[in-house]
Structure 1
Amino acid sequence: MPPEPSAPLATIATALRRERERVGISLTELARRAGVAKSTLSHLESGTGNPSVETLWALGVALGVPFGRLVEPADDAIRVIRAGEGPRIRSEQADFTGTLLSAGAAHLRRDVYLIELEPGAVREADGHTPRSVEHVVVAAGRLRVGPEANPVDLDPGDYATFPGDLPHRYEALLPGTFAVLVMEHP
């Protein structure tokens, strides 16, 4: 008997199955829509995969759900996430880690993340669900963020908002950069 998946992987597995069944599509069709291998999706649904931020975003877009719905466990209790804890998802493209702090309820469609970045490669994101909006507040370091065509540089305490449904980027300009990201999905 295979070992039980760890908490984040079990949450992702359950959420993928739930959302795929809600939409009423097969593994093959979801894999096609998201542009991921069917074997990758099968591993994720069984709790044995190791998804990247990019893979989970592609699956969320293909399912028409926010990223947070795929990684946050359903829970009605008071929830505290201590610094350095929580479900951390790494990027394949850059030294970028996102920690989901709160996913919006079905009627809110808002997710809150803590993102950590280091200088080097740029995290390039495809557009998310139509009419989504991103809000970013830098807590430490320096961040270049925004639409590919017009990114802005932010210092600690600076805030920016931009359309999340267009290709955009995150680039740390100083070591130890981290920010709070709020994503709204209509």
Structure 2
Amino acid sequence: MKETSTELNARIAERVRGLRTERGLSLDALATRSGVSRSMISLIERGENNPTAVLLDRLAQALDVPLASLFDNPTPPPEPIARRAAQTVWRDPASGYLRRSVSPTGADIRTQIVEVEFPPQARVAYDSLERLQGVQQLVWLLEGRLQLTVDQTVHTLEAGDCLAMTLGVPIVFHNPGQAPARYAVVLTRS
């Protein structure tokens, strides 16, 4: 069963609002920590906005969770299998990249897998807000070409290449090619 954009925005709204409440943060406090305006956070929490990956990343950092966790199903599946038909699919409205949450969700799962289809010439820059401590990220390029700028270092990946990095610095994803790039992101929390 594929979720509609409205259903996914409602799920993101519930996760952001729930995480903010669990941490005892007001809208103003989250706005200050994330650099996202109070009014934008309010729209996101009401499911009335289709936020970009960059905005969601800033909120995730401020809430001290990986970006992928904002797409988690609020109730973990009854079995440890994430069936393709039930996996969360989301398109970034700014860059057009398509992300699929591949891994099952749950409190005891420390590794998350995300599949991404990145359009030709697309670019997404995640800023340098303090990121989660102890989160390792692997980017495994399955098809196409991808340039990743990690802090000041540019890495050009070809199909089959895998880049390891620890979150905590600015990261820019760029597809310099004329065809979509498809890659897997594996996030592991210590």
- SS of residue paired to 1:19: helix
Report the AA paired with residue 90 of structure 1. Answer: D
Structure 1 residue 97 corresponds to structure 2 residue 101: no
TM-score (structure 2 length as normaliser): 0.83
Q: Which residue of 2 aligns with 1:161?
A: 164
Aligned partner of 1:150: which letter? T
CA distance in 2, matches of 1:122, 1:45: 26
Conserved 8 A contact 2:115-2:183: yes
Worse overlay, 115-124 or 149-158 = 115-124
User: In the alignment, what sits opposite 1:147?
Assistant: 150
**Structure 1 unmatched runs, 5+:** none
SS in 1 for 2:147: strand
SS of 1:181 mapped into structure 2: strand
User: Residues 146 and 158 of structure 2 are in contact (CA less than 8 Å); yes or no, is this contact kept in structure 1?
Assistant: yes
The aligned residue for residue 113 of structure 2 is 112
Contact persistence 2:73–2:105 (CA under 8 A): no
**Cα displacement (A) at 1:52:** 0.8
Q: What SS does the aligned partner of 2:84 have?
A: coil
Alignment of 1:20-35 (within 5 A): 20-35=20-35
| Counterpart position of 1:10 | 10
Paired residues of 2:112 and 2:186 also in contact (CA < 8 A): yes
Contact 2:50 2:93 in 1 (8 A): no
Take 1:125 and 1:103, find their aligned partners in 2: how far apart are those partners? 25
Q: List, as ranges, runs of 4+ consecutive aligned residues in structure 1 with deviation greater than 6 Å.
A: none
Deviates more, 1:117-126 or 1:173-182: 117-126
Q: What secondary structure, in the 3-state scheme, does the structure 2 residue paired with 1:50 have?
A: coil
Query: Counterpart of 1:122?
Result: 123
Larger mean Cα displacement after TM superposition, 24-33 or 142-151: 142-151
- Are the aligned partners of 1:68 and 1:104 in contact in 2 as well (CA < 8 Å)? no
Describe the SS at the equivalent of 1:6.
helix
The reply to whether residue 173 of structure 1 matches residue 176 of structure 2 is yes
Alignment gaps of 5+ in structure 2:
none
CA RMSD of aligned residues (A): 2.3
Counterpart of 1:182, as a letter, is: V
Aligned to 1:131: 134
Q: Could you tell me which residue of structure 1 aligns to residue 55 of structure 2?
A: 55
Residue equivalent to 1:183: 187
1:33: Cα distance to partner?
Answer: 1.2
TM-aligned CA distance change 1:148 to 1:131, over 3 Å: same
* Alignment: residue pair count: 180
Q: CA 1:103 to 1:162, structure 2 compared with 1: closer, same or farther past 3 Å?
A: farther
Q: CA deviation at 1:184?
A: 2.3
